[in-house]
Structure 1
Amino acid sequence: MTATDQALALARTAATAAEDKIATTITGLDVSGQMPLTDIFVIVSADNERQVGSLVDAVEDALREQHDVKPLRREGAREGRWVLLDFGDIVVHVQHDEEKDFYDLERLWKDCPHLDLGAVGTQQPGGSRGTGDLQP
């Protein structure tokens, strides 16, 4: 079983919104074969609580504006360390970098295929904004 076209479109929109807000990392996992409740996990991270909140707002706004969808459930927004946004077809995990490293969802779901969502974070190979290296 693979993720639906609708889920892929939502995941790509979420990833692009996170990239635009300078996410540290952006990962897509096709969990449709392992989890009956959703098709894709989009995992994004940021280096501080304020940035986590900014990513959450950007993802919600982009999905509402481009696909007319709202989250069915939102958890963890008050703490700003790990916010879960459940859109049905996709679940977006917005994590502080420390939580991302500690819980390592990619390792927990390592049997699920990685998806190319057309966006990368600043600390990933091919990151659109580099890793701080200055070019003359």
Structure 2
Amino acid sequence: MRFLIRIFFRTLRRVLTPFMIAGYHLSRPRGIQRTAEDQRAVDEGTGWLALYHFPACPFCIKVRRVMDRLSLNVELRNALQPGEHRQTLEREGGRIKVPCLRIAAEDGRVQWLYESDDIIAYLEERFGSSG
């Protein structure tokens, strides 16, 4: 029975994935318009960030929409397939769970922020319209 359930959800995910990705690209929000100087300052702040994500994960899409709305240039690291990003997420972040925002500090410390709502709150606080 467990096998049938697993097959059902894998099939469902394969069918829905293209629609979720297309929906994200077709409904991307317009970003905040900043002066070139202000955008450069924001880009410097986002240079320390990387978002580990799966392209069709609804929670990852939610975070990427906020990044688009805030006009943030955060490096996206696809951790879906086995490879460097997935290994790094597991080794340094502690588990393979997305979305996960890697926040590096200038002193070399690294913070791994899981949970889409926590990531969004961090981005809003740091780069929102007042930042």
Please give the range of the TM-score, normalised by the shorter of the 2 chains.
Answer: under 0.3
Does 1 or 2 have the higher relative contact order (CA < 8 Å, sep 6+)?
1
More strand by share: 1
TM-score w.r.t. length of structure 2: 0.28
TM-score w.r.t. length of structure 1: 0.27
